[in-house]
Amino acid sequence: MNSDSNNRNAGQTDAAGAHRGNFKSRLGIVLATAGSAVGLGNIWRFPVETGQHGGAAFIMLYLACVILLGVPMMVAEFIIGRRTHADIATAYERLVRENPRDTRLSRLAPSLWPVTGYAGMVCVTLILSYYSVVAGWILKYAVDGLMGRLTSLGDESAYFAEFSSSTLPPLLYTLAFLLATHMVIVRGVQNGIERISKLLMPLLLVLMFVMAFGSLTMPGATDGLLFLLRPDFSKLTPETALSALGQAFFSLSIAIGCLSTYASYFKQDVPLVKTAANVVGVDTMVAVVSGFIIFPAVFSVQGVQPDAGPGLVFITLPDIFERLFAHTPVVGYVFALMFYLLLVLAALTSTISMHEEVTAFLCDRYHIPRRHAASIMTATSMVLGALCALSFGPLAGFKPFFGRGFFDAFNDVTAQWIMPLSGIVLSFFVGWRLPRALVEEELTNHGTLKMPRFIVPTFLFLVRYVTPTAIAAIFIGQLM
């Protein structure tokens, strides 16, 4: 065996020869990766974006974005992770080292590509912090649902405002969510991440279909469906396109290293393009089915508009549940509880993938035991998460980032700056910097996978020209 194939088969060991772990089954891979993608982005953010940008028109643009940009970007990340079987920072460093380029620029300046790996880790840490706060709120609503309180909250808006602006309860729920994530991570790749994904993802899909069925039998179902399916072309504006692209990136967890970290646990025979297509398919289906759950319910209640905004899940929906099920409280109890449970499961599989990216880096790089690495990440996210949680309460007046508090600043800097910029770098890296032969080897599993001839050139065309241009367009668009 030559040294290259030695490297390629080093899936279970890191640079120092320590055990790294890998996913056991193909199904586990698709479910874990889809678990990273499916999250609050699908069930909370997607319906809000769809509602605010005119329904079907937005969905059409969104579908174009996930197919033309989402799949190639996801494959690009898979290539980086699976080729190196390393954490995201090491992966960039190793790929640059092993594929030297002798240009005047490369002799003058040290390679800056690996900076993207570190930026990705900063980005997921910030996302994990504010995401855990929202996930904590969801957990609180799931507990309320269990106690049967959700269908009798009274003034929903005041209820949410009072809870989110208090001090201790949001902190405790954020902590509970991070600890749940931590417990999965310390069990490792196969026993933790893969096992929990195989349990939670099917449960989530079953819950979704049961709820969509329930929702489609509601009185406003036809209006809800029409809103989702009949495009209003006047809504096809550049602004809608930008939102669709941003939503696609966030929803697919693209460009910041979570997916390459998972791919570093893929075995050599995993088909990358097919896996990406499956994951994108599941993610998109969950988003659209969430629309089928939410909009029929929204249209069933007089006076509620579909563009209710970010308060949808915490204010509008409890109100809807209360009014809709006033005469059938048992159905209301089950429906509301299932809905928040669904959100908890979806959020958990996403926070796990964010946490794993940094934990993997700490283990690989510093050779510390996994549970210590995980504790460092959990503690860091909790401190930052506390600042985000408190920015709705005691720290509400503290806005150190150009007039923004912690929660908003973390949200903006990750979604509007780090994700798009990392996406552009990732496209260039895989499209132009990596040798074409390497990309081809990864796409075809060293020639062992039979696939139509056009796949490799199409992939290269997309990551070289289409994805960087499209991302640059959103990036510049939002600055203006």
CA-CA distance, 409 to 479, in Å (whole number)?
Answer: 15
d(CA 360, CA 337): 34
Residue whose CB is less far from ligand PHE, 44 or 299: 44
Burial status of residue 369 (CB atoms within 10 A of its CB: 0-12, 13-18, 19 or more): exposed
Q: What is the DSSP letter of 401?
A: B
Rounded to an integer, what distance in angstroms lies between the CA atom of residue 193 and that of residue 187?
A: 8
Rule CB under 6 A: is residue 204 a binding residue for ligand PHE? no
Q: Quick check: 251 binds ligand PHE (CB under 6 A)? A: yes
- 28, 39, 70, 468: which one binds ligand PHE (CB under 6 A): 39
- When the beta carbons of 78 and 299 are compared against ligand PHE, the nearer one is 78
Is residue 260 at the binding interface for ligand PHE, with CB under 6 A as the rule? no
- The reply on whether position 345 binds ligand PHE by CB under 6 A is no
Exposed, middle or buried, 383 (CB in 10 Å: 0-12/13-18/19+)?
exposed
| Cα gap 137→334, rounded to integer Å | 19
Sign of the Cα torsion 136, 142, 148, 153 reads positive
Taking the C-alpha atoms of residue 259 and residue 233, their distance in angstroms, rounded to an integer, is: 34
Work out the number of other CB atoms within 10 angstroms of the CB of residue 224: 25
Name the residue nearer to ligand PHE (CB basis): 127 or 263: 127
Spatial separation of the C-alpha atoms in residues 291 and 324, rounded to whole Å: 17
Minimum CB–partner distance for residue 403 and ligand PHE (Å): 25
Task: Dump strand ranges (E) for 337-477.
Answer: none
The piece of 32-40, 205-213, 289-297, 366-374 that touches ligand PHE (CB under 6 A) is 32-40
**Dihedral sign computed on CA atoms, order 208, 213, 214, 218:** positive
Considering the complex, what minimum distance in angstroms separates the CB of residue 254 from ligand PHE?
8
Among 40, 73, 134, 474, binds ligand PHE (CB under 6 A): 40
* Contact pattern for ligand PHE over residues 98 through 137, marking x by CB under 6 A: --------------------------x--x----------
* Cα–Cα dist 128/372, whole Å: 18
* Binding of residue 36 to ligand PHE (CB under 6 A): yes
Query: Which of 95, 354, 388, 409: binder of ligand PHE (CB under 6 A)?
Result: 354
Cα 444 to the chain's mean position, in Å? Answer: 26
Instruction: Quote the least distance from Cβ 414 to ligand PHE, whole Å.
Output: 8
Binding of residue 258 to ligand PHE (CB under 6 A):
yes
Q: Among residues 247 and 300, whose Cβ is nearest to ligand PHE?
A: 247
Q: Counting contacts by CB under 6 A, is residue 37 touching ligand PHE?
A: yes
Of 40-48, 208-216, 421-429, 430-438: span binding ligand PHE (CB under 6 A): 40-48
Q: Does 280 bind ligand PHE (CB under 6 A)?
A: no
Binding-site member from 125, 129, 253, 260 for ligand PHE (CB under 6 A): 253
Residues that bind ligand PHE (CB under 6 A): 36-37, 39-42, 124, 127, 250-251, 253, 256, 258, 350, 353-354
